[in-house]
Amino acid sequence: MRRKVDTNVSRLSHERVSRRTILKGAGLAAAAAGVSLATPWRARADDVTLRWWSPQSSPGQLASYKKQIATFEAAHPGVKVVFEPTSDEGYSAQLAAAFSAKQQPDIITHLPSFAVQTYYAQGLVEPFDDVIQAIGPDKYYPGANNVYKTADGKYCGTGIGNTAADMLWVRKDLMQKAGVSEIPTTWDTLRAACQKMQTGGIYGVPYPYGLNSMTSLIIIGFIHRAGGNIFSPDLEVAINSDATAHALDFYKSMKELAPPGATNYSWGESLTAFVSGATATGIYAGRVLKNVHDQNPAIADFITATTYPTMSKDFPAWTFNDFPSIWIPKGSAHLKEAKLFAAFLLDPPGYIEQLLAAPGHVLPVLKTIAENPDYLADPIIQKYKAEVNLMAASAAGGYNLGYETAKHKPNSKANDIIASNVLAEMVGRVVINGENTKTVLGDTATKLADLMKG
Amino acid sequence: MASIAEREHALPGGWTLALRYGSLGMLLIAPTVLIFAAVIAYPLVSAIYLSLRSIFTPTLQGHWVGLANYADLLSSTTFWRALRNNFVWTAGTLFLQIVAGVAVALLLNQNIVFRSLARSLILFPYFVSTVVAVLVWRWLFNDLYGILNHFMLTLGLIDQPVNWLGQMPNAMISVILVGAWKYFPFVVIAVLARLQTIPPQLYEAATIDGAGPWGRFFDVTLPQLRSVLTVVILLRTVWDFKEFDLIYLLTGGGPINATQTIPLLVYQQAFGLNRMGMAAAYAVVMMAVMLVFMSLYLYRARRSEEAA
């Protein structure tokens, strides 16, 4: 009996030892696992993921970004870059939501310079001076960064390129067929030429009349080409003028020369209308070249570009350059890496490939690149050398709503004005609704004044 | 034998049975109340609070403005135009959804060939993503390459392309039609389910009494569908009234602002103009309008049900 009890105690004792051993083992194993996990975790904590937003994301551009990202990641172990496309029409809303949710990207490219100025004025942009220094200020064209100069004397971003957004694109074959001997330089000659060329299912112009940013940006150009301004140099509302009335009258007169759906056109539809051959002229930037080359090569030998006609020869040409930008939103958790990547985006091999993804569309801001044989060797750049040079010169001397003329103060409300569609609505009311121009101009001036105050 | 009152007194802690049951009940419904507060009451109170402030969306910073946002929106023509557009869109698309939904449900309730396949395919528009559906429709409506214009030109119905989305009233009609196409399958599902439960004896009796197809529909089918249609109309009205993506993607509120509804205004105020407070005010007013109409609708539906 005693032996039996002893045996049981012994077994119990044995069991106790066994459990303790197991627990100890488990504890040690957990500790070991903890130690082994701690090191990789620290390594993971050091990893950096940069989020990059851009509205420019055609397949060719995406491929070039991918290469630039791969090169940057290889040169900076532990840093990962994720590209997230946005859109010209949607970035404003997406950024507002991102900022309010504290989910803003680390770097943004290709937004117009006036958008960056607006965000800077709202305290949402990191100063960019040190990045410009890292890139090398002497590499830029003179004054290329003026549009990024802020009221407090800093730079809020830099250019990733220039864009001559409202060039006149013409089909020379259709001109010849219609008996139009010269490329129009004034509104009257343009209208007459379009009237002659509008035949056989081909329309004259692909003007946008929709409630969107393209309509707003395009009408700004027309107002300037009639000698007007949206704001005075001191940023007082100046839209209620004869020049604007003339611009609207002309724009309205061209409605019958545009496809019926132009009342809903934005950038994509307007570009496609010309590239597909549905219109005899186009109003767009250099992307036309690549798209014609890829999508409608039959007309590639017949297209050319010039600055958009003005109301009369008394008025100089005025080109809308949205000055596509690079900037860093405030609140980036990886500011150092974001700045490194921003500077890297203008590094020659990758930058040239990025520009050549849409040759002539985003034009170089660095003179060292514009003269680079690798850039100049591109077949499209070579074929349309005159057009590309003209676009480069026009864009370099171009303006936008944030920077209407060299005399104007930077307009930090420009982005809000475009996003509000006030200017597009003005066009729609006059052209589509047929409302009285003076009444509409009065209303628009009031709305602009409210936006400037707000 | 101890009375109930005595036994209640005997409970430990001085708690009566009723008090204990009451407490248990409170404890059991507490999770529901908490979830309700978190997902309904908090956003509602938050929206009302936001609507009383002027708030800059990106930073969510702002200040108290009281009822100024409401005063501004009620005095603006934009709001009243958007509200009118909202009613036109909701009434138009809802009417088509109900008519098409009931008609197709009646058809699918018959013994037709490939009935199962047809019942599955009819759900396709409802399940397809709105973005995809809108892209397809935009191509169909395209003035230069759209198949709709192409066929009409080929058939000689028109001599130049119709501007489906950039001109009124075409734009509103197009939006209403696409909305009806997209959402009528919901009505089909609900009505078909009810149709299958209507006793066939009712139809037999009506037939014996000399009722024709129309008579059977109006005297048997429609009264039987009343309860399900009440719910369907209620739900679809709420959903259509606050529809955003379909209209935004199809017309963006254009031409000019002719198809701009209140949800589009809320979006524009919140993220286009960065005025979150004003956007909240629009949203609160929209909710109030819906509440008024829903209450009236439910009241009338209940009255007519009682009368029946």
Same fold, A47-163+326-396 and A167-321+400-453: yes
- Report whether pLDDT(A438) > 90: yes
Q: Which residue did the predictor score with more confidence, A170 or A369?
A: A170
Name the residue among B60, B256, B276 with its Cβ closest to that of A425: B256
Q: Distance, in angstroms, between A389 CA and closest chain B CA?
A: 32
Closest residue of B to A422, CA-based? Answer: B256
How many residues does this entry show for chain B? 308
Range B78-307 has CATH code 1.10.3720.10: yes
- Report whether pLDDT(A248) > 80: yes
pLDDT at A35: 45
Residues of A in contact with B166 (CB under 8 A): 209-210, 260-265
Residues of A in contact with B167 (CB under 8 A): 260, 263, 432
pLDDT at A36: 45
Q: Could you write out the DSSP letters of every residue in chain B?
A: ---HHHHHHTSGGG--HHHHHHHHHHHHHHHHHHHHIIIIIHHHHHHHHHHTEEEETTTTEEEE-TTHHHHHHHT-HHHHHHHHHHHHHHHHHHHHHHHHHHHHHHHHTS--TTHHHHHHHTTHHHHS-HHHHHHHHHHHH-TTT-HHHHHHHHTTS-SS---SSSSTTHHHHHHHHHHHHHHHHHHHHHHHHHHTTS-HHHHHHHHHTT--HHHHIIIIIHHHHHHHHHHHHHHHHHHHHT--HHHHHHTTT-STTTT--HHHHHHIIIIIS-BHHHHHHHHHHHHHHHHHHHHHHHHHHHHHHHH-
Label residue A62 exposed, middle or buried (CB < 10 Å: 0-12, 13-18, 19+). middle
Q: Mean pLDDT over residues A425-452, rounded? A: 94
Mean pLDDT of chain B: 89
Computed on alpha carbons and rounded to an integer, the radius of gyration of chain A in Å comes to 29
How many CB atoms are closer than 10 A to CB A80? 15
**Interchain contact, A93 vs B164, CB within 8 Å:** no
In this structure, are residues A169 and A283 in contact, taking their beta carbons and an 8 Å threshold? yes
B194-249 pLDDT, tens per residue? Answer: 999 999 899 999 999 888 989 999 999 999 998 899 889 989 999 999 999 999 99
Name the residue among A119, A122, A210 with its Cβ closest to that of B166: A210
Sequence-distant (6+) residues with CB within 8 A of A141 are: A365, A366, A367, A370, A396
Residues of A in contact with B255 (CB under 8 A): 209-211, 263-264, 428, 432
pLDDT at A264: 86
Q: Mean pLDDT over residues A88-99, rounded? A: 87
Q: Mutation test of the interface with chain A: which of B271, B275, B276, B278, choosing the one with the most A Cβ atoms within 10 A?
A: B271
**Interchain contact, A100 vs B57, CB within 8 Å:** yes
B255 touches chain A (CB under 8 A): yes
Q: Distance, in angstroms, between B5 CA and closest chain A CA?
A: 55
**Interchain contact, B57 vs A122, CB within 8 Å:** no
Percent with pLDDT over 70 in chain A: 90
Query: Distance between CA A109 and CA A61 in Å, rounded?
Result: 12
Residue A202: which of A253, A149, A276 has the closest Cα?
A276
A135-151 pLDDT, tens per residue? Answer: 999 988 887 888 898 88
B267 touches chain A (CB under 8 A): yes
Q: Distance, in angstroms, between B300 CA and closest chain A CA?
A: 40
* Beta bridge mates, A5: none
Q: Distance, in angstroms, between A264 CA and closest chain B CA?
A: 5
**Interchain contact, B270 vs A96, CB within 8 Å:** yes
**Interchain contact, A260 vs B166, CB within 8 Å:** yes
**Interchain contact, B165 vs A211, CB within 8 Å:** no
pLDDT at B118: 86
In this structure, are residues A91 and A111 in contact, taking their beta carbons and an 8 Å threshold? yes
For chain B, which residues make up each domain, given as ranges? Answer: 4-51, 78-307
Least confident of A47-56, A90-99, B240-249: A90-99
pLDDT at A217: 94
Residues of A in contact with B142 (CB under 8 A): 261
Query: Distance between CA A211 and CA A432 in Å, rounded?
Result: 11
Q: Mean pLDDT over residues A163-190, rounded? A: 95
For chain A, which residues make up each domain, given as ranges? Answer: 1-44, 47-163+326-396, 167-321+400-453
Residues of A in contact with B60 (CB under 8 A): 100
Closest residue of B to A425, CA-based? Answer: B256
B142 touches chain A (CB under 8 A): yes
End-to-end Cα distance, chain B: 54
- Report whether pLDDT(A2) > 70: no
Residues of B in contact with A261 (CB under 8 A): 142-144, 161, 163-166
B145-160 pLDDT, tens per residue? Answer: 889 999 998 898 888 8
Q: Provide the pairing of β-strand A107-109 with A325-327.
A: antiparallel
B113-167 pLDDT, tens per residue? Answer: 888 888 889 889 999 999 999 999 999 998 888 899 999 988 988 888 888 988 8
- Report whether pLDDT(A395) > 50: yes
Q: How confident is the model at residue A42 (pLDDT cuts 50, 70, 90)?
A: very low
CATH architecture of A167-321+400-453: 3-Layer(aba) Sandwich (3.40)
Evaluate the omega torsion of the peptide bond into residue B199 and state whether it is cis, within 30 degrees of 0: no
Q: Mean pLDDT over residues B29-53, rounded? A: 92
Q: Distance, in angstroms, between B15 CA and closest chain A CA?
A: 46
pLDDT at A275: 96
Sequence-distant (6+) residues with CB within 8 A of A38 are: none
- Report whether pLDDT(B272) > 90: no
Query: Distance between CA A358 and CA B25 in Å, rounded?
Result: 69
How many CB atoms are closer than 10 A to CB A71? 14
pLDDT at A93: 86
B61-93 pLDDT, tens per residue? Answer: 899 999 999 999 999 899 999 999 999 999 999
Query: Distance between CA B186 and CA A259 in Å, rounded?
Result: 37
Least confident of A16-30, A277-291, B178-192, B195-209: A16-30
End-to-end Cα distance, chain A: 97
Closest residue of B to A100, CA-based? Answer: B58
**Interchain contact, A433 vs B256, CB within 8 Å:** yes
- Report whether pLDDT(A4) > 60: no
Residue A157: which of A190, A187, A130 has the closest Cα?
A130
**Interchain contact, B144 vs A428, CB within 8 Å:** no
Residues of B in contact with A212 (CB under 8 A): 252, 254
- Report whether pLDDT(A336) > 50: yes
B279-300 pLDDT, tens per residue? Answer: 999 999 999 999 998 888 888 8
What CATH number belongs to A47-163+326-396? 3.40.190.10
In this structure, are residues A80 and A352 in contact, taking their beta carbons and an 8 Å threshold? no
B125 touches chain A (CB under 8 A): no
Q: How confident is the model at residue A25 (pLDDT cuts 50, 70, 90)?
A: low
Residues of A in contact with B145 (CB under 8 A): 276
Q: How confident is the model at residue A58 (pLDDT cuts 50, 70, 90)?
A: confident
Q: Distance, in angstroms, between B117 CA and closest chain A CA?
A: 37
Q: Distance, in angstroms, between B113 CA and closest chain A CA?
A: 41
B173 touches chain A (CB under 8 A): no
Name the residue among B162, B256, B270 with its Cβ closest to that of A211: B256
pLDDT at A19: 53
Q: Provide the pairing of β-strand A48-54 with A79-85.
A: parallel
